[in-house]
């Protein structure tokens, strides 16, 4: 699309990006970098306060702006900015600001970046809670995995969270999905039009330098933001079930667990005598990943695709995970490590990979091939830009074809608008 000025993009973030703290923020940064490569004019706005590890967006040439919830000040801001594309980071931002964007900038392409389907993650979390209430068997995880998409839909469909999230997907012109499994779920069971969905996984360029070999590595590693519930549950499962089994077979084994925002309850698990080390935040996650021989990611629930596993492949570190951890990541290609459904299976696979150099080398090579086949920025970046440009060129047809989205916008705008205006008036009277 030829234009007389640079495309103007407004990104509305649920939080300010912290790419070294979470994969979700890393994905947002990859999208921002893709836009910058086009010479686009980007403004990032958020109602949240800055976190400890916030990225310096201004140094990248991205304007930063703090915005308020339930305030007409946003109307003046977005009207003056007049963006061509508005990207909502997480569906709650579309709920809050989508109606205002449509009212002030009706011609702007509205895009939702999901990172993962939150309603799917929460339904799986509930399944885990129910499982733990029904059984005190810490080893068994098989009951949590192997659900069909129809079963996942059934668990999600009656929840308020799914109704809110899926409605937001319908209301947007395009939704960026990180997992092809979630695209299939949305199309086949929630009736999202394929024209409203775009596969945009984690995007990176594998380095050409040699990967650290088996002999130069030691210990096990696990990494993940402690504020993310699936990561915390994985730490507990490792502590109570997985790690004791590994130590039985490898008495000298050491597990180093890194994560941003380490709470006291995690620090309390630190036990060097058991080889169980809580290491807090990693200044350089790729450096510690490169030094490790095995990455453990025993996730019992979650959604999307896992940044820690992509990082492991980038560093040539074989991983051991669950079907949830591997979901949507490999397609039909060999896995870069091992997948287990129970603590016993995960521990056995981890010990085998740790001790078998030939098997370890095969897993490392599988990771290299997976990265090149499915996660290259040079492939997905241009594909994203092309899809956005196509949607802008055919915006009227897209919206006419998405009647359900238009219907939901009509009703949501009324309810959200009046609620927001009521809150704003209430805040004004209380000031």
Examine the domain organization and report whether 298 and 408 are in the same domain: no
Listed residues 348, 375, 402: the one ending a domain: 375
Examine the domain organization and report whether 371 and 403 are in the same domain: no
In a domain, 139, yes or no: no
In a domain, 134, yes or no: no
262 touches 241 (CB < 8 A): no
In a domain, 68, yes or no: yes
In a domain, 277, yes or no: yes
Number of domains in the chain: 2
The mean of the pLDDT values for the chain is: 92
- Summarised one tens digit per residue, pLDDT across range 183-211 is 999 999 999 999 999 999 999 987 777 99
In a domain, 24, yes or no: yes
Pick the closest to residue 34 from 340, 387, 287 (CA basis). 387
- Summarised one tens digit per residue, pLDDT across range 376-412 is 999 999 999 999 999 999 999 999 999 888 888 877 6
In a domain, 133, yes or no: no
Examine the domain organization and report whether 343 and 225 are in the same domain: yes
Examine the domain organization and report whether 291 and 409 are in the same domain: no
Examine the domain organization and report whether 388 and 358 are in the same domain: no
In angstroms, rounded to a whole number, what is the distance separating the alpha carbons of residues 189 and 196? 15
- Summarised one tens digit per residue, pLDDT across range 288-325 is 999 999 999 999 999 999 999 999 999 999 999 999 99
Examine the domain organization and report whether 357 and 267 are in the same domain: yes
Examine the domain organization and report whether 293 and 386 are in the same domain: no
Whether pLDDT at 1 is above 70: no
Examine the domain organization and report whether 244 and 331 are in the same domain: yes
Radius of gyration of the chain (CA): 22
CATH of the domain at 283: 3.40.50.2000
Domain that holds residue 268: 214-375
pLDDT category of residue 74 using cuts at 50, 70 and 90: very high
Give residue 20's pLDDT: 75
Listed residues 360, 375, 390: the one ending a domain: 375
Pick the closest to residue 417 from 46, 79, 100, 68 (CA basis). 100
Strand partners, 11: 44, 87
Cα-based distances in Å from 349 to 118, 237, 345, 346, 431: 30, 16, 6, 5, 60
Strand partners, 296: 320
In a domain, 3, yes or no: no
Tell me the torsion sign for CA atoms 268, 269, 274, 279: negative
Examine the domain organization and report whether 322 and 233 are in the same domain: yes
Examine the domain organization and report whether 188 and 243 are in the same domain: no
Listed residues 328, 359, 375: the one ending a domain: 375
In a domain, 130, yes or no: no
The token pair that represents 140 in the structure block: 């068994």
Examine the domain organization and report whether 199 and 233 are in the same domain: no
Examine the domain organization and report whether 370 and 393 are in the same domain: no
């Amino acid at each position: 699309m030829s234009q007389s000025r640079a495309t103007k993009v407004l990104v509305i973030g649920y939080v300010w990006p912290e790419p070294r703290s979470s994969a979700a923020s890393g994905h947002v940064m990859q999208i921002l970098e893709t836009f910058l490569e086009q010479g686009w004019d980007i403004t990032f706005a958020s109602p949240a306060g800055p976190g400890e590890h916030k990225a310096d967006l201004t140094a990248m040439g991205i304007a930063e702006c703090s915005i308020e919830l339930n305030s007409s000040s946003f109307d003046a801001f977005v009207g003056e900015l007049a963006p061509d594309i508005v990207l909502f980071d997480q569906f709650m931002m579309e709920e809050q600001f989508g109606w205002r964007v449509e009212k002030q900038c009706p011609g702007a392409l509205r895009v939702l970046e999901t990172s993962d389907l939150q309603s799917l993650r929460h339904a799986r979390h509930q399944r885990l809670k129910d499982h733990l209430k029904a059984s005190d068997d810490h080893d068994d995880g098989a009951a949590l995995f192997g659900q069909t998409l129809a079963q996942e839909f059934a668990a999600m469909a009656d929840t308020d969270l799914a109704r809110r999230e899926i409605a937001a997907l319908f209301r947007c012109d395009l939704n960026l999905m990180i997992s092809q499994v979630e695209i299939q779920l949305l199309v086949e069971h929630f009736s999202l039009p394929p024209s409203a969905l775009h596969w945009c996984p984690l995007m990176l360029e594998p380095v050409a330098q040699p990967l650290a070999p088996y002999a130069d590595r030691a210990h096990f590693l696990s990494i993940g933001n402690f504020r993310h519930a699936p990561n915390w549950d994985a730490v507990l499962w490792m502590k109570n079930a997985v790690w004791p089994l590994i130590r039985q077979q490898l008495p000298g084994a050491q597990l180093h667990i890194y994560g941003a925002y380490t709470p006291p309850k995690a620090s309390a698990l630190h036990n060097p005598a058991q080889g169980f080390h809580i290491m807090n935040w990693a200044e350089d996650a790729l450096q510690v990943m490169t030094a490790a021989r095995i990455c453990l990611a025993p996730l019992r629930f979650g959604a999307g695709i896992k940044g820690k596993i992509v990082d492991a492949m980038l560093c040539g570190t074989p991983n051991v995970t669950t079907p949830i951890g591997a979901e949507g990541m490999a397609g039909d290609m060999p896995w870069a490590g091992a997948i287990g459904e129970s603590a016993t299976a995960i521990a056995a696979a981890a010990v085998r990979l740790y001790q078998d150099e030939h098997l370890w080398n095969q897993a490392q090579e599988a990771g290299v091939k997976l990265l090149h086949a499915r996660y290259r920025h040079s492939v997905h970046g241009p594909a994203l830009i092309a899809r956005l440009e196509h949607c802008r060129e055919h915006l009227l047809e897209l919206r006419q074809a998405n009647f359900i989205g238009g219907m939901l916008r009509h009703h949501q705008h009324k309810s959200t608008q009046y609620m927001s205006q009521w809150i704003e008036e209430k805040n004004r009277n209380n000031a």
